[in-house]
Structure 1
Amino acid sequence: MARALVFLVVIFSCLFLIRRTEQIQTSQTQQLLQLRKQLQYPKQLDAWNNTDDLCYAPSSPVVHVGCEGDLVTMLKIVGDKLAKPGEFEGYSIPDQTLSESFSVDSFVTTLTRLTTLKVVILVSLGIWGPLPDKIHRLNALEVLDLSSNFLYGSIPPKLSAMTRLQTLTLDGNFFNDTVPDWFDSFSNLTVLSLRGNRLHGPLPATIGRVTTLTELALSGNNISGAIPDLSGLTSLDLLDLRDNKLDSELPAMPKGLVTALLSKNSLTGEIPEQFGELSRLQHLDLSCNLLEGTPPAELFSLPNISYLNLASNMFTGSISSSITCSSQLGYVDISTNRLTGGLPSCLNSNSNKRAVKFNGNCLSIDPQHQRKDKYCQKSQIKGKDAKTRDIGLMVAVIGGITLVVLVLLLVFLVVCRRNCRRAIAEQRLLPKPVQENSATGFSSELLANARYISQAMKLGMQVLPTYRVFSLEELKEATKNFEHSAYVGEGSIGKLYKGRLENGTFVAIRCLALFKQYSIRNLKLRLDLLSKLRHPHLVCLLGHCVDGVTDDSSVNRIFLIYDYVPNGNLRTHLSECSLERALKWSDRMAILIGIAKAVHFLHTGIIPGCFNNRLKTDNILLDEHLIAKVSDYGLSIISEEIYKQEASVEGQKSMHNESLALEMLNVDDDVYSFGLILLEALVGPALSKKGIAYFLKELAMSFSKNEEQKHILDPIILGTSSQESLSIVISLTNKCLSPESSTRPSMEDVLWNLQYAAQVQATADGDQRSDVASQA
């Protein structure tokens, strides 16, 4: 009897737990579906229709629901509603936001009912309105990313109660109050990114007390005044204060800083000597400020410095000919200053080791691109005269003030003696000073978007396969000992083989010969950096194999193992003549946007960025869904020598001498290379017959003439594109292929323009379908 009773108790307990679990699942699913409704059913969430338990819903790079047991702990939704310049200058609702029926208060209320959430990533969804204080009810939250929406007003102070928060990213919104001074309330915050908002006022000193920070990014705002003391931020890797109105001298920087971006401000004074002690510093940008003096020699020899931009300041004097440059230094820009004398040998522009820009000074070399000596001498004299005048003026002012004070003191004593009581009585009636509150409001300037990937966005990329080290025996087995049937071709760099791993996965294996000798440790460090380049529009690098390693000696050959993409490259698809299989304009736009996203990630997704990726249409692979995958990226990380070999091969593949001259001058510029891809997408296979220069000239002439466009553009796109969308891309192509690199757009600008052109095309297609439906 007792056993039967125990058995019944166990059965009822199990039933209760099962029932309780079902209730939790049902409740959380209902909340998620309510969020989808409030977001007005974005197409990214269509997959939620096919499952009852959203913990098991299909994941993708733009949608992911993560669960621990039966509890929702991660919600990631990335939409396509982007703001464009000129929008949202007041409180009127722009086209890219959710409709007027959307309530951010109701949305956040629903969101906070998912109390177990640890990661919330809601990007580019058109969410608008002031962010409600009640967001702090998500007290388990560790990552909050609300980038690229239309949130305005103040950043809610109650966020400071979210003590577990590690990453706070609010980039690309319209917050227009002052920078909060309560960030030091966070005890675990590592990433604070508020780029591209309308924040104004000074940078509070309390920011220097958030000692857990590794990334501080406030670029593209209206922040003014002084940079506070940040030397206590011992964990800080990235400091991004670009494009603000900061006007102080440079303070001491944290000794562990890796990247410092301070360009486009009004910073004054000389570069502190302490900057020469930043041993971990890799990327320093102080361009477009008002800095003076002579750049410290120690900056050029910092052990890890790879990028140094001091352009467009007021530096004077000459750089010592005896300075040494770090072996890592690949880019130096000292142009548009007032420097004199010669360049030290390690900054010689003819060196193959680094790119050096020095135009617009008064240097003794390359007189064609230098200013006259009198300009720099006059500037120095003016500077000295100004300092002398300032000192004289200061002495005069101090003397005058002292004299006035003495006179007033004398008068005061006389008056006090005559009528002391009256003076005291009047003094008691003096009003107390009243502090005025400045009104807040929107500025008219739309500011830059984020350029560095946040930790929150990295979490969304974990669906890609894990990187690992392969053995040579595995590769031999996969390719049947690299037999001829597995050989695919040379590719752009190294021999390429197709293989099949033991688990049935097809892979592409690139055999890479290293002309530059690296130690095993050096090579593995470079491969570790290459392994971090994971993105949905990059061909996935699965791992590597180092051939013939027995000790820490140099290596001559490595293998890189990639995911195999079977559907051919973009050049092949653009050459397709069949109307049924040819790429329509909308298809080409989607492919181009995918490529731009990948390149933007390569430039900004890691620190330092990965440039010189040799973009070509035959290096852009397409999967079975026509999703673009960029291949042969990042190989400059392993060996610069590879590109010397490739450049000589390119020289033998000239389309036209004029075109070759244009292309070879810009071979290392990803924006220019992307411009060539845009051009080929516009004109199709005819590009290889007539050359780049011909089409550039024709495109410029036909920009506003539809009849002339018919003679040069691929006929496939003329019948499937709107004129407005086409004009945006033609204009963008001309800008990308500008002979002057300084006038070319950034990849961020390229991506925005392509997405805008795609939106214009989608609107035109929708209007056309509506017209057809109404006629029917």
Structure 2
Amino acid sequence: MGFWDLVFVLFLSWIFYIPRTHQLQTYQTQVLLQLRKHLEYPPQLKGWENYNGDFCAMLLPSSVSITCQNNSVTELKITGDKFAKSSEFTGFSILDRTLSEGFSIDSFVTTLTRLTSLKVVSLVSLGIWGQLPDKIHRLYSLEVLDLSSNFLYGSIPPKISAIQKLQSLTLDGNFFNGTVPDWLNSLANLTILSLKNNQIVGHFPSSLCRIATLTDLALSQNKLSGKLPDLDDLNKLHLLDLRENHFDSQLPRMPKGLVTALLSENSFSGNIPEKFGELTQLRHFDLSYNSLSGTPPSALFSLPKISYLNLASNMLRGSLSSQLRCGDELGFVDISTNRLTGKLPPCLDTSSDKRVVKFSGNCLSVDSLHQHHESYCKEQHMLRRRSRGKERGLIAGVIGGIAILTIVLAFGFVILLRKYHARASMEEHKLPDTVQDNLQTGHSAELLANARLISQAAKAGIEGASSYRLFSLGEIEQATSNFSTLLGEGFMGKVFRGRLADGTDVAIRFVSLFRKYPIQSLKLRLDLLAKLRHPHLVGLLGHCIDGGGQEQFHASRVFLVYEFMPNGSFRTHLAENCLQKALKWSDRLAILIDVAKAVHFLHTGVIPGSFSNRLTTSNILLDEHLIAKLSDYGMSILTEELEKIEGKGESSKAWQKGKLEDDVYNFGFILLEALVGPIAGGKGEAFLLHEMVSFGNQDGQRKIVDPIVLATSSQESLSIVISITSKCISPEAFTHPSFEDVLWNLQYAAQVQASSDADRKSDATSLSS
């Protein structure tokens, strides 16, 4: 080939090379723009529509990352806003936003898989909903997949097993409700598996133990149960997070390279294996809130790298060796709420500022104010601890079943709407007819557009409850005889007694709003409030919106019509001095359990949950059968609290957690009043600081506990409630129990009291005979 022939060939190659490169670049760009359209133009991708340059060189916000190699996109990371701002229409925050009815996850994934060179895909908090399709496996080069904090449900698609290069799979914070796949061990390069905070059920698959490359395994906050197999073959495992499940086996063997092990809030039983003292890399170990027994191995405390050791709320017993040594890195130890006896070893001496040590609720010969009598820890009657795993599992199973049913019904309702609006395109997402047939109608489309996952759990709460209706201002005035009978006045306004035209007695709350609301906004708020139905919530029968003569525009006040509760408040009954009329301990427990069930429903039975419910004994009302119902719930929906919090820049997640803890703390004072009688206004904190220590022994209890309670309670039942009360009103919010734990303890205390009452009755019958 001559010189000019070579030049000609090179020239032709250059001509054909340039268009080909340009075509590839254009194709990739068009796919990115199509993905932006599927995601409904999130604010993180603002400005793309007018951009004509190279997306791989584009200046992007911190929430977006695009990496390219050889003119192909290899990494795509987009993080959305986990918490949407207050809606213009609803006026309240939505915990998560979903994409609209027109979104198709099948079309979205089809578009995404056209970027065949992708190695990293991270699409977090973007409101993606639906069942993740099998075609995700077309991303055959994928090494990292993160779809956390979306609304994905169903099972994890099996064809993910075909992505042989996959190293990290993270699907946290979704609604997957299948089982942990048993094909994960076919992913030969998998190092990180994280499925936290879903609705995953079933057992821990033994196939996971064969993933030799695994370094991080996180399955916490699911509904996993049964036996946990030995994990010592996972030689590279550093992080194991199985918190808040229902595992009920003995503790298995652990890999020696483990650094963090979080196993709290399960039902693990048996002794803590001595072999755990050989986990020389262990730094953070949490076994709290299980049913572990025996004496904890001394070697645990002296592990060379251990810095955090939590063994609280188990049934550990025996004495810790006086020769027990603590590792140099150990900064936090919690052995509280067990049945340990004897002295604290010198290295756990709380006078040292080297480490924090918690040891209350045992029978140790130190700090008698916060310890049980030694006989308490040597009792043979261990009903609570022995049955705790099974009973907690049963309660959690029921709650888990309700939660799963809630998810199915909620998604069923969403899909029913989508079928109505886009029948043809959404046919593949249709749920079974048996689900759709049971859906409750009457939800406003506007509310569903902003809060996609309204729970249907309330539907099962009150069968046959009075239907909700709208009242006119004239009907309100006539029912109350022009507001002539005042029942009381609280934070949210005055309450008047009334009688409807059909003879129904009602209580009507007059609420002055903090600002004028658009009528549409207020109607949607009330629409959500009206759906909070539970046997132990005072029934909301309807409302009347008064616009002050401008009904078509704004409203400044609203009247809420509730069922009338003839037996007054819990506080009034607690203040009763007459022995014949005073509530005995078993009656008080029944009322407390009713209210705890209602609050637990408000927190977990509806999405978004209702927090900051202003819990007081005055807001617990009793019907003609002394059945307790909570009033003043859900009032934050009608206030500006959400907007104010967001205006200060706090995250909604922090707000939600704080308000949940507020309810736990306030319920603690309800428990306190049930024990000692009504606490004078403003006295609560002082009482907590100066008098609570009296609960630590029976002499102190006799001085402070209501005599009616002392006369009608068993010591064990009383001790259970005193213990949970102390935890609820602890100044340290991180030590507060969950409402599920509060409810469990109250139900157990009632069971113990019922057994004691039956024994007393039997003894009395025997004596009289």
With the length of structure 2 as denominator, give the TM-score of the two structures.
0.51
Q: Which residue of 2 aligns with 1:337?
A: 338
Q: Given the alignment, which residue of 733, 736, 753 partners 1:743? A: 733
Q: Which residue of 2 aligns with 1:201?
A: 202
Q: Which residue of 1 aligns with 2:132?
A: 131
Q: Which residue of 2 aligns with 1:619?
A: none
C-alpha deviation, 1:5, in angstroms: 2.6
Per-residue CA shift, 1:217-257, capped at 9, x if unaligned?
00000000011121100000000000001000001000100
Per-residue CA shift, 1:101-160, capped at 9, x if unaligned?
000000000000000000000000000000000000100000000000000000001101
> Could you say if the C-alpha distance between residues 59 and 741 of structure 1 is closer, same or farther in structure 2, counting changes exceeding 3 Å?
farther
Map of 1:554-593 to 2, 5 A cutoff?
none
Per-residue CA shift, 1:524-567, capped at 9, x if unaligned?
xxxxxxxxxxxxxxxxxxxxxxxxxxxxxxxxxxxxxxxxxxxx
Map of 1:138-157 to 2, 5 A cutoff?
138-157=139-158
Q: Which residue of 1 aligns with 2:240?
A: 239
2: CA distance between counterparts of 1:301 and 1:744? 26
Q: Which residue of 2 aligns with 1:672?
A: none
Q: Which residue of 2 aligns with 1:31?
A: 31
Secondary structure, counterpart of 1:77 in structure 2: strand
2: CA distance between counterparts of 1:95 and 1:383? 42
Q: Which residue of 1 aligns with 2:109?
A: 108
C-alpha deviation, 1:717, in angstroms: 7.3
Q: Which residue of 1 aligns with 2:521?
A: none
CA contact (8 A) 2:264 2:287 kept: yes
CA contact (8 A) 2:645 2:655 kept: no
CA contact (8 A) 2:83 2:652 kept: no
CA contact (8 A) 2:195 2:220 kept: yes
Percent same amino acid among aligned pairs? 56
> Could you say if the C-alpha distance between residues 441 and 131 of structure 1 is closer, same or farther in structure 2, counting changes exceeding 3 Å?
farther
RMSD: 3.9
Q: Which residue of 1 aligns with 2:262?
A: 261
Aligned residues: 425
CA contact (8 A) 1:213 1:235 kept: yes
> Could you say if the C-alpha distance between residues 155 and 8 of structure 1 is closer, same or farther in structure 2, counting changes exceeding 3 Å?
same
Q: Which residue of 1 aligns with 2:404?
A: 443
Q: Which residue of 2 aligns with 1:211?
A: 212
C-alpha deviation, 1:272, in angstroms: 0.8
1: CA distance between counterparts of 2:26 and 2:250? 58
2:51 equivalent to 1:61: no
2:25 equivalent to 1:18: no
- In structure 1, the gaps of 5 or more residues are 85-92, 388-438, 447-702, 750-776
1: CA distance between counterparts of 2:167 and 2:653? 43
1: CA distance between counterparts of 2:196 and 2:24? 38
Counterpart residue type for residue 269 of structure 2 = T
Map of 1:146-225 to 2, 5 A cutoff?
146-225=147-226
Secondary structure, counterpart of 1:443 in structure 2: helix
Counterpart residue type for residue 60 of structure 1 = P
Secondary structure, counterpart of 1:239 in structure 2: strand
Per-residue CA shift, 1:652-699, capped at 9, x if unaligned?
xxxxxxxxxxxxxxxxxxxxxxxxxxxxxxxxxxxxxxxxxxxxxxxx
With the length of structure 1 as denominator, give the TM-score of the two structures.
0.51
Secondary structure, counterpart of 2:309 in structure 1: strand
Q: Which residue of 2 aligns with 1:369?
A: 370
C-alpha deviation, 1:374, in angstroms: 1.8
2: CA distance between counterparts of 1:113 and 1:727? 38
CA contact (8 A) 2:82 2:96 kept: no
> Could you say if the C-alpha distance between residues 36 and 382 of structure 1 is closer, same or farther in structure 2, counting changes exceeding 3 Å?
closer
C-alpha deviation, 1:61, in angstroms: 2.4
1: CA distance between counterparts of 2:369 and 2:326? 26
Q: Which residue of 1 aligns with 2:716?
A: none
C-alpha deviation, 1:60, in angstroms: 3.1
Secondary structure, counterpart of 1:15 in structure 2: helix
Per-residue CA shift, 1:263-297, capped at 9, x if unaligned?
00000100111101000000000000000000000
Per-residue CA shift, 1:152-209, capped at 9, x if unaligned?
0000011011110000000000000111111110110000000000000101111100
Counterpart residue type for residue 7 of structure 1 = V
Q: Which residue of 1 aligns with 2:307?
A: 306
> Could you say if the C-alpha distance between residues 125 and 730 of structure 1 is closer, same or farther in structure 2, counting changes exceeding 3 Å?
closer
1: CA distance between counterparts of 2:205 and 2:654? 45
2: CA distance between counterparts of 1:370 and 1:234? 41
C-alpha deviation, 1:718, in angstroms: 11
- In structure 2, the gaps of 5 or more residues are 86-93, 388-399, 408-633, 666-728, 740-769
Secondary structure, counterpart of 2:185 in structure 1: helix
> Could you say if the C-alpha distance between residues 301 and 161 of structure 1 is closer, same or farther in structure 2, counting changes exceeding 3 Å?
same
C-alpha deviation, 1:81, in angstroms: 4.1
1: CA distance between counterparts of 2:134 and 2:664? 48
> Could you say if the C-alpha distance between residues 158 and 726 of structure 1 is closer, same or farther in structure 2, counting changes exceeding 3 Å?
closer
2: CA distance between counterparts of 1:734 and 1:130? 34
CA contact (8 A) 2:315 2:385 kept: no
C-alpha deviation, 1:51, in angstroms: 3.0
Q: Which residue of 2 aligns with 1:404?
A: none
> Could you say if the C-alpha distance between residues 243 and 704 of structure 1 is closer, same or farther in structure 2, counting changes exceeding 3 Å?
closer
Q: Which residue of 2 aligns with 1:7?
A: 7
Q: Which residue of 2 aligns with 1:318?
A: 319
Counterpart residue type for residue 264 of structure 2 = S
Counterpart residue type for residue 124 of structure 1 = S
Q: Which residue of 2 aligns with 1:282?
A: 283
